[in-house]
Structure 1
């Protein structure tokens, strides 16, 4: 056997071994479910102990200090801290968390990770400790699911396996919260996955059993199941059936109103246009004030249910408890505070059942108010969450009294049917719809194909061929690329497409004739626009039996989309791939914009930030736009605090509009289309990147200080982000003080615009070291030198003093490129300079030769080396008084 064959066989064996080790087998699933159950139990106990300790401290403080002072203050402070933690570190931790779990299990890209679990745990402790009338059971479901989601990323298994582990974590969280393992399993089957497969049941049972057992042990309780919630023996008789039916009807009606009230509360809070921390603080303030006016028993949310069940109340107090708990839960939940609805539902159900039990005792004199209170818990819980089987089992596992089964079944099933008639569908699905998430539509591959557009999936960096390129040159381009076809462009506009098959056919028919792509390409190719959805794209690919489609805006080529891009989008959906990581700023919001005719071959973006340099940058942008037949896009970014939403924050746009109107005047003067917009954002770089994506920008031209004091940054906070992430060409300009036009800060758009100081932009120095960015700098020169009235260009290369025969190929190639422009034929010279370092040589040459402008290339790939060895562009920009222009070529998406 030959050595290459032996190596291939060994490699195949290794790959098979790796696949065998990581294959999602039942043993791996069982082991993972066991760990998930254990971790979920620990987190549930920690949440119970933490929130209980804070709640006890709050109640104790209300006995020492006036309750009308301490309770509102604690509610505001803890509520605000909880909201800040969620908003800044994990926005996914807001609310009960169960809708997020349900969305993730439906393959919606909702983040479930270790960070979400930790923030949910800590913020829930603060929210519950502040006195908000919410429960800890809902958060434990999300915490368990998030822990499972984070753990499943360690094991590279299938998406289905990951979903089953997340469901098992959610079941373990519920089991640990209620000490009810069976209910945890049923909740997974009935509400979350709705799957009865062996692996789903097996993992859910294991995780829920371990979660429930460990929670019992850590909570100081015995594993014996005959420990009842009450010492009273429950009873049930046939004459009571109408009253349990009445209880179910009342629970269904009131639960439907409760669910509608929750949605209305969320909408009312949104209309306040305040940040999450302020909303939660407001809820804490209202709850603190109301609870301080109620009896002392209302200050302990944890013990309120037991207070009712054990018969320590009376009918008027029970009615007051129902009304207060109903309204305060609406106030708390609508704010977005991290907390669940299970505990409030059980309290509301117990008080409603108690009232029906008192009424039945007055009529028949045979029933027990405690039995009705327990049946009411299941009935109201069933009607709110639409999980009747889980509701029955939860109450049964909490009491372990078989006499309760029939009353629970009658009340829970009746309430479920009534509530579903008045409030159809799941509350959690409705909550997701408020956030714009439609599970039924988005959970299927068909939903992905109809939701995503070509603009969101396409490759923005397109390799294209010029229409006048010869067939031989095109063959060379194919030989250096993995693509089987190229778009053909003429002056930036798409005119055709050429494939390998086209070229081979031409070579076979007439190999001697010199042809251009204009003669062999397929004219008027099939194209799509950025707003076409993926289903339309897929239809066209299949209809015409092609592998790629150009994406055009008008006639301008802005991207290309292939079958592989669609498959990648579907795979990301199946894997719940959320490409964002860490705390994310909200998207920017456009509050003002103007549009000109879209007649250019491309777009040049000018972020207008500094009135001192705006005029000079705009005239530079105009020079490039005229040369390349581009449109100009001007953007002003107004920053707002991350505690407020850009879409909901009022801002003053008058100064920004005044500055942008000047840009429009420039456009009319130069006869260049100028578009303007003002964006409200949390982050300047993100707003610029969003503009680049939405407006299909080809080049960014922006000001640069020439240095940065930000630790860990090369060029500055905003510039570093753009250089790394912007897929278009980036040009940075550090203007010399004596080369700036007058400030446009208060420049009326009706006054004459000052002309460019052309005499100060005549002497140009272009250091060359090879690479794509240096070539892009050369391409910009013909446009930029029109800013001067008598331009002179020197191309140079820094060489070591010991170098005897310097390599001049780079300079010679650059000269040939510039000589193609006739107006530059007599203005270009090339000569090397000797120095120990590049910055030293360039700075010395600029100072001695009195150059007005230095044009440099910036390498994206070399930024790490610049951080280690020193930032050459910054060193040059800081060492000279001239204008420095830094160019970075376009990169792939």
Structure 2
């Protein structure tokens, strides 16, 4: 009863509103804390009683070093401006974004900017807001797509709070980060931005805080040539600034020995030294920006300020300090606008020879226009640039000059530097965003033909209703397309049939008289969004797919949901209708003489002998029979029972199985099946043939995100109700020196069962048992425990077992290094299903080991690792 009352309050939109408000509130508070903290530290740094020649360099060195140390030790992802990291997270790249990153970003930015580094706080507020939103999405679990919407709302709120510009926050997310105009995304971003900006304005003060009237902002025909010049200069110098950022990053990479604290400390020291001789360099962005916009300085000082700010910002950003380029870009643009205003005034006055035209725009107009133009050239978001400056000044007269300057600057900069600056920054880190998005978003280009069922059950329009009732009773479908002379003429559903039978008309009417005529259809090339729109808008459960009047398939909600579930679980191998049960093409049975059965899937005649060799050794040790299977995969458009299978191509595998049966004395069964999906087919065989253990080969490393090893292997690791052994054969298939890493779990029992058979593959096997401890977490397993495990193995195997405790922060690297040290031939890895799934997030240990070493790797999943489906 309570749940029903709460359901209206817990609708998706209402929850989204609450979450957006929370994100905006928290992001606004974080932005206010950062702003006031930087102002306090800047005031303390510049008004100290100590000599400036001592204070500024010392604080720059110490504060920068502490900022870098905080990032290096606690959250390396918090380095830089933070916007590239947010964009990568929104593009499905695996970059941490959480509360830890947000807090470290806040602290490191406070230290860096408070130390005098020439960077801004608005870029970090974007990452802080996004990180807080990402953490909220973990506390309140939701779908991956909705999590992206929450992160984008947090980013918008962070930027809105940083600039007191809510509209600009939304536009930046739409223009640069997410590029999503859906209602829920826009609504969440708008609400979060509004709340964040309100909190920032109430608690942190106004933005630019200039008391301007319409007389200060004006535009005349005399200004147009110089606004064009300003746009050209902003575009060229903005492009140079972008190139300088990349050059500075490359330059600082040469000083790896300094570490991040040393690089940032060095940048702080240089900034402090420059600030001693040029006080304008020691001013924070807000003060310098207001100083320039008011036009109270001479052009010589402004030119010096521009050059110094330009170089110091490149220096600070290249060092890896936490801070953004938004505010420095605005300051540089203001300085450039002031210089252009001086040029215009000098030109029209003949450099003092005659009066300046009365309608010439003020220096403030040029400064504000330069802010938007330079910002647009650097970031590549002209609309956001215009709106940011407009929202900070709230003066409509400024819109036209901003459009002229920002538009020209953007076109010039894009001509010189093609592509997003944030994409290029990510590329320098090895993250190529666009391929990642496409690889992880398989729905982007799907069409109806990709998901539709091609084999459709249909009815004839001339059938009687009693025959239609029988058709429904024999089928699980709730609707049928109706054909007449091969053309689609209608569709009949259970509700249509129910109305006719309720009126007692079923004895007199034909199907053509009660069906729904002219049904809604889609073409094979209809996009998936179009299909979903029709299904939702018309409240339908299925749509016929037609090519003209010819029925070519049908697509249902179930087909879409099933494909999405398969994709999320990692089991999707082919888009299309549901896979049918496999079909047994050939089954060669042997006498049932073993105490269990070991299933060996065989696919390649070249690798099958090695796999069968290992399987036979295990089967001898366990007294099992061998069940060999070859699965012929057929398209889903063809029923497995109707598929043509070339048994001649399978003959080498059958003969190989027969030879092992004759030479080993084992009972060997062999079968061939036609199937849509190999993984599901193997699960069918495990159930039908009462399989106790599965041995599979693993030949090619798989780098697909979300996979442990590969599609078929992962399916069995997650779902098989029996023990699973996966073998990645090494370059030299020898079995004399064995390495068994363990974490103290049930590995020993499984090793005791399998090793007696496996050791027969070697001549004089040598066994090393090891465990790995993290150096900062203490000793994770005492020698007594590992000795107990070694004693149990020695008693079972009747041979010595050597033990070793390793210390390393990387489990995989420790195993690889120790295997190389001991010249191991085989690594036997035991892991639970739960641990394997966690490896997808924390690092794929089996894959990392297999890619780093050429020896044989055997991965074991115990029977006890299968989780209860109800949990």
> 1:394 and 1:221, CA in 2 relative to 1: closer, same or farther beyond 3 A?
closer
Matched ranges for 1:243-642 at <5 A: 243-274=226-257, 275-296=259-280, 298-364=282-348, 365=356, 366-445=360-439, 472=592, 476-477=596-597, 489-492=611-614, 498-499=628-629, 519-521=668-670, 550-552=696-698, 561-563=710-712, 565=714, 598-601=732-735, 604-605=738-739
Residues in 2 aligned to 1:184 and 1:288: alpha-carbon distance in whole angstroms: 32
Q: What residue in structure 2 maps to residue 749 of structure 1?
A: none
Q: TM-score of the superposition, structure 2-length normalised?
A: 0.58
Q: Is the 8 A contact 2:119 2:328 kept in 1?
A: yes
Q: TM-score of the superposition, structure 1-length normalised?
A: 0.57
TM-aligned CA deviation for residue 367 of structure 1: 2.8
SS in structure 2 at match of 1:308: helix
Q: What residue in structure 1 maps to residue 82 of structure 2?
A: 97
Residues in 2 aligned to 1:156 and 1:444: alpha-carbon distance in whole angstroms: 24
Select which of 56, 65, 83 maps to 2:43: 56
1:847-891 deviation per Cα after TM superposition (whole angstroms, max 9, x unaligned)? xxxxxxxxxxxx999xxxxxxxxxxxxxxxxxxxxxxxxxxx966
Q: Is the 8 A contact 1:308 1:318 kept in 2?
A: yes
Q: Is the 8 A contact 2:164 2:206 kept in 1?
A: no
Residues in 2 aligned to 1:565 and 1:597: alpha-carbon distance in whole angstroms: 24
> 1:703 and 1:309, CA in 2 relative to 1: closer, same or farther beyond 3 A?
closer
Matched ranges for 1:144-223 at <5 A: 144-221=129-206
Residues in 2 aligned to 1:391 and 1:568: alpha-carbon distance in whole angstroms: 52
1:60-112 deviation per Cα after TM superposition (whole angstroms, max 9, x unaligned)? 12xx3232221111011111111111111111111000001101111111111
TM-aligned CA deviation for residue 375 of structure 1: 0.2
TM-aligned CA deviation for residue 498 of structure 1: 2.7
1:169-224 deviation per Cα after TM superposition (whole angstroms, max 9, x unaligned)? 100111111111111111111111111111111111100011111111112459xx
Residues in 1 aligned to 2:282 and 2:103: alpha-carbon distance in whole angstroms: 29
Q: Is the 8 A contact 1:492 1:602 kept in 2?
A: no
Q: What residue in structure 2 maps to residue 685 of structure 1?
A: none
Q: Is the 8 A contact 2:152 2:173 kept in 1?
A: yes
SS in structure 1 at match of 2:628: strand
> 1:414 and 1:554, CA in 2 relative to 1: closer, same or farther beyond 3 A?
closer
SS in structure 1 at match of 2:47: helix
1:580-639 deviation per Cα after TM superposition (whole angstroms, max 9, x unaligned)? xxxxxxxxxxxxxxxx972414763599xxxxxxxxxxxxxxx999966669xxxxxxxx
Q: What residue in structure 2 maps to residue 692 of structure 1?
A: none
Q: Is the 8 A contact 1:360 1:367 kept in 2?
A: no
Q: What residue in structure 2 maps to residue 752 of structure 1?
A: none
Q: Is the 8 A contact 1:470 1:516 kept in 2?
A: no
Residues in 2 aligned to 1:132 and 1:474: alpha-carbon distance in whole angstroms: 75
Residues in 2 aligned to 1:138 and 1:55: alpha-carbon distance in whole angstroms: 19
Residues in 2 aligned to 1:70 and 1:32: alpha-carbon distance in whole angstroms: 44
Residues in 2 aligned to 1:568 and 1:316: alpha-carbon distance in whole angstroms: 71
> 1:714 and 1:606, CA in 2 relative to 1: closer, same or farther beyond 3 A?
closer
Residues in 2 aligned to 1:298 and 1:702: alpha-carbon distance in whole angstroms: 57
Q: What residue in structure 1 maps to residue 799 of structure 2?
A: 782
User: Which of 345-354 and 236-245 deviates more?
Assistant: 236-245
TM-aligned CA deviation for residue 154 of structure 1: 1.7
Residues in 2 aligned to 1:710 and 1:75: alpha-carbon distance in whole angstroms: 31
Residues in 2 aligned to 1:80 and 1:490: alpha-carbon distance in whole angstroms: 59
Matched ranges for 1:716-727 at <5 A: none
User: Which of 50-59 and 226-235 deviates more?
Assistant: 226-235
Residues in 2 aligned to 1:154 and 1:542: alpha-carbon distance in whole angstroms: 34
Q: What residue in structure 2 maps to residue 877 of structure 1?
A: none
TM-aligned CA deviation for residue 149 of structure 1: 0.4
Q: Is the 8 A contact 1:45 1:215 kept in 2?
A: yes
Residues in 2 aligned to 1:153 and 1:709: alpha-carbon distance in whole angstroms: 29
Q: Is the 8 A contact 2:590 2:669 kept in 1?
A: no
> 1:21 and 1:237, CA in 2 relative to 1: closer, same or farther beyond 3 A?
same
Matched ranges for 1:792-831 at <5 A: none
Select which of 708, 711, 715 maps to 2:781: 715
Residues in 2 aligned to 1:179 and 1:354: alpha-carbon distance in whole angstroms: 24
TM-aligned CA deviation for residue 233 of structure 1: 1.7
Q: What residue in structure 2 maps to residue 584 of structure 1?
A: none
> 1:603 and 1:284, CA in 2 relative to 1: closer, same or farther beyond 3 A?
farther
1:23-44 deviation per Cα after TM superposition (whole angstroms, max 9, x unaligned)? 8711111110011000000000
Q: What residue in structure 2 maps to residue 5 of structure 1?
A: none
TM-aligned CA deviation for residue 355 of structure 1: 0.5
SS in structure 2 at match of 1:134: coil
> 1:81 and 1:490, CA in 2 relative to 1: closer, same or farther beyond 3 A?
same
SS in structure 2 at match of 1:194: coil
Residues in 1 aligned to 2:715 and 2:377: alpha-carbon distance in whole angstroms: 41
> 1:180 and 1:77, CA in 2 relative to 1: closer, same or farther beyond 3 A?
same
1:659-681 deviation per Cα after TM superposition (whole angstroms, max 9, x unaligned)? xxxxxxxxxxx9x9xxxxxxxxx
Q: Is the 8 A contact 2:27 2:128 kept in 1?
A: yes
Q: What residue in structure 1 maps to residue 120 of structure 2?
A: 135
> 1:704 and 1:353, CA in 2 relative to 1: closer, same or farther beyond 3 A?
closer
TM-aligned CA deviation for residue 401 of structure 1: 1.1
Q: What residue in structure 1 maps to residue 649 of structure 2?
A: none
Residues in 1 aligned to 2:331 and 2:93: alpha-carbon distance in whole angstroms: 33
Q: Is the 8 A contact 2:627 2:669 kept in 1?
A: no
Q: Is the 8 A contact 1:549 1:561 kept in 2?
A: no
Q: What residue in structure 2 maps to residue 873 of structure 1?
A: none
TM-aligned CA deviation for residue 701 of structure 1: 3.7
Q: Is the 8 A contact 2:683 2:716 kept in 1?
A: no
TM-aligned CA deviation for residue 158 of structure 1: 1.3
Residue ranges of structure 1 left out of the alignment (5+ in a row) = 1-12, 450-456, 459-468, 507-512, 527-537, 570-595, 608-622, 632-669, 673-697, 724-731, 734-766, 786-858, 862-888
Residues in 2 aligned to 1:335 and 1:625: alpha-carbon distance in whole angstroms: 57
TM-aligned CA deviation for residue 295 of structure 1: 3.0
Residues in 2 aligned to 1:73 and 1:226: alpha-carbon distance in whole angstroms: 32
Q: Is the 8 A contact 2:334 2:369 kept in 1?
A: yes
SS in structure 1 at match of 2:738: strand
> 1:184 and 1:521, CA in 2 relative to 1: closer, same or farther beyond 3 A?
same
Residue ranges of structure 2 left out of the alignment (5+ in a row) = 349-355, 444-569, 572-588, 618-625, 633-653, 655-660, 686-693, 702-707, 719-729, 742-754, 803-829, 833-858, 866-871
Residues in 1 aligned to 2:23 and 2:714: alpha-carbon distance in whole angstroms: 35
Residues in 1 aligned to 2:83 and 2:189: alpha-carbon distance in whole angstroms: 16
Residues matched between the structures, number: 580
TM-aligned CA deviation for residue 565 of structure 1: 3.2
TM-aligned CA deviation for residue 541 of structure 1: 7.8
> 1:89 and 1:251, CA in 2 relative to 1: closer, same or farther beyond 3 A?
same
SS in structure 1 at match of 2:222: helix
Q: Is the 8 A contact 2:333 2:375 kept in 1?
A: yes
Residues in 2 aligned to 1:260 and 1:86: alpha-carbon distance in whole angstroms: 25
Residues in 2 aligned to 1:497 and 1:30: alpha-carbon distance in whole angstroms: 57
TM-aligned CA deviation for residue 49 of structure 1: 0.7
> 1:564 and 1:702, CA in 2 relative to 1: closer, same or farther beyond 3 A?
closer
Q: What residue in structure 2 maps to residue 761 of structure 1?
A: none
